[in-house]
């Protein structure tokens, strides 16, 4: 049986292992400063052909950046977000 090629609508949710609650694919698609969460392929592969979909939607560079396995430590990401917020406030 072949998988669906398009993501489910936003009335379909799955449990996010990082956040611990239900989320939509559209959130995972842009969770990482406009780029997909690094876990998107793992979380959504049983629900639709997420790899083919994202390869069609992203540039090769953006796809590699999101899923290359080079994930920033959570603390570094948080510090960067805090710095961004401070700069926006100024």
Per residue in 68-89, pLDDT (tens digit) is 876 667 788 788 889 989 988 8
Q: Which residues contact 85 (CB under 8 A, 6 or more apart)?
A: none
Structural tokens at position 65: 């950046």
Question: In 3-state terms, the chain is what percent helix, strand and coil (to 5)?
Answer: 50, 5, 45
- Which regions of the chain are under pLDDT 50? 1
Burial of 60 (0-12, 13-18, 19+ CB in 10 A): exposed
pTM of the model: 0.71
């Amino acid at each position: 049986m072949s998988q669906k090629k398009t993501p489910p609508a936003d009335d379909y949710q799955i449990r996010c292992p990082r956040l611990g609650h239900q989320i939509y694919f559209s959130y995972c698609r842009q969770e990482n400063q406009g780029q997909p969460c690094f876990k998107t392929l793992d979380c959504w592969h049983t629900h639709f052909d997420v790899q083919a979909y994202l390869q069609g939607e992203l540039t090769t560079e953006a796809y590699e950046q999101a899923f290359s396995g080079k994930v920033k430590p959570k603390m570094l990401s948080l510090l960067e977000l805090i710095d961004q917020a401070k700069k926006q406030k100024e």
